[in-house]
Amino acid sequence: MEPLISIVVPLFNEELVIEQMYRRVTAVMAAIGLDYELILINDGSRDKTLPIARQLCTQDPHVKLIGFSRNFGHQAALTAGLDKARGDAVVIIDADLQDPPEIIPQMVEKWKDGFDVVYGTRVKREGETRVKKWTAAGFYWLLRKLTAVDIPQDTGDFRLLDRRVVNALNRMREKNRFLRGMVSWVGFRQCRLEYVRHERFAGETKYPFKKMVKFALDGILSFSQIPLKVSSVFGFLCSLLSFCLIIYGLVEKFFYSQSVIRGWLSTFVAILFLGGVQLICIGILGEYLGRIYDEIKNRPLYVCDELINFD
């Protein structure tokens, strides 16, 4: 039987790009000539994304729609797409056409060559601010330093996954998700495909600073326990320092009979410094604790309001 390709597209307030995205993806898939399904996930959009998506579903049976009951976030939307996809290979792509759908045939070729994961690596980012590029570079650097899994640099969620990889991912129901890390963790034969990341076709980023910080924290904390260990290292260093100071104080007192009681500034600085370090360490504990709490509650990752064109 001819293989089926699923294309998963998360949508959050993308009324300006959805139709253009549909046209370009459809053109690409028609050219490949393989059977495909285009799974749109409406992540609680507040604009006309939903009616347009519904319209596309009535026009074209290839298009399927998962409608969330509210905004659950990009990673939850991708998860829903992977859950519902029936394809032998699944391609994840952003709606904003920053990742060109025209790369998909090359991904499919690599898949046919026997690779299970073909991830797109951005060799160039067009139309993104310098701050975004720098923070992204810093984040990927830190991620590589702190985590044991080999998460490729400058690689987003634009990728093709074989059915075996999707099945493995679908069994990982962790709540604070960092999908690109999870794909690396799963393993299998992976290969990269370089591409130029374009400017957003229209509209603006749906990842404001706050969401990005949360996402970055999920990436690091889901794949590393090193931050937890930082406090022990600090603890040892501080204990060592205070021990040296005690020796110094005793020597001063008994051999040079100096009064050691002077300079409350140094005392004050020491207290503030230690207080700060302790609070940061408690904060790190809190980040992990909050994530454990999310796991314990075991709520579903998303709630669907409607499903269209799924059997």
The residues that touch Mg ion, with contacts defined as CB under 5 A, are 94, 96, 98
User: Minimum distance from CB of 293 to Mg ion (Å)?
Assistant: 31
Closest CB to ligand UDP among residues 115, 160: 160
CA separation for the pair 133, 66 (Å, rounded): 32
Site string for ligand UDP, 253-292 (x = CB under 6 A): ----------------------------------------
Q: Restricting to residues 6-25, name those near ligand UDP by CB under 6 A.
A: 10-12, 14
Q: Which amino acid is at 230?
A: V
Closest CB to ligand UDP among residues 94, 218: 94
Backbone angles phi, psi at 197, to 5 degrees: -85, 120
Q: Restricting to residues 34-53, name those near ligand UDP by CB under 6 A.
A: 43
Closest CB to Mg ion among residues 43, 94: 94
Closest CB to ligand UDP among residues 17, 117: 17
94 binds ligand UDP (CB under 6 A): yes
Site string for ligand UDP, 154-193 (x = CB under 6 A): ----------------------------------------
Q: Considering CB distances under 5 to 8 angstroms, the limit depending on partner class, which of ligand UDP, Mg ion, none binds residue 73? A: ligand UDP
77 binds ligand UDP (CB under 6 A): yes
Q: Restricting to residues 98-117, name those near ligand UDP by CB under 6 A.
A: 98
Closest CB to Mg ion among residues 83, 128: 128
Residues touching ligand UDP, count (CB under 6 A): 16
User: Minimum distance from CB of 207 to Mg ion (Å)?
Assistant: 8
Token duo for residue 76: 């939850």
Cα Rg of the chain (Å, integer): 25
User: Minimum distance from CB of 102 to ligand UDP (Å)?
Assistant: 17
**Exposed e or buried b per residue across 277-289, where buried means at least 16 C-beta atoms within 10 angstroms of its C-beta:** beeebeebeebee
Name the segment binding ligand UDP (CB under 6 A); options: 25-33, 94-102, 160-168, 296-304.
Answer: 94-102
User: Minimum distance from CB of 91 to ligand UDP (Å)?
Assistant: 13
Bridge partners (DSSP) listed for residue 119: 159, 192
71 binds ligand UDP (CB under 6 A): yes
User: Minimum distance from CB of 200 to Mg ion (Å)?
Assistant: 5
Full 3-state SS string of the chain: CCCEEEEEEEECCCCCCHHHHHHHHHHHHHHHCCEEEEEEEECCCCCCHHHHHHHHHHHCCCEEEEEECCCCCHHHHHHHHHHHCCCCEEEECCCCCCCCHHHHHHHHHHHHCCCCEEEEEEEEECCCCHHHHHHHHHHHHHHHHHCCCCCCCCEEEEEEEEHHHHHHHHCCCCCCCCHHHHHHHHCCCEEEEEEEECCCCCCCCCCCHHHHHHHHHHHHHHHCCHHHHHHHHHHHHHHHHHHHHHHHHHHHHHHCCCCCCCCHHHHHHHHHHHHHHHHHHHHHHHHHHHHHHHHHHCCCCCCEEEEECCC
Q: Restricting to residues 119-158, name those near ligand UDP by CB under 6 A.
A: none
Interface residues with ligand UDP (CB under 6 A) are 10-12, 14, 43, 71, 73-74, 77, 94-96, 98, 205-207
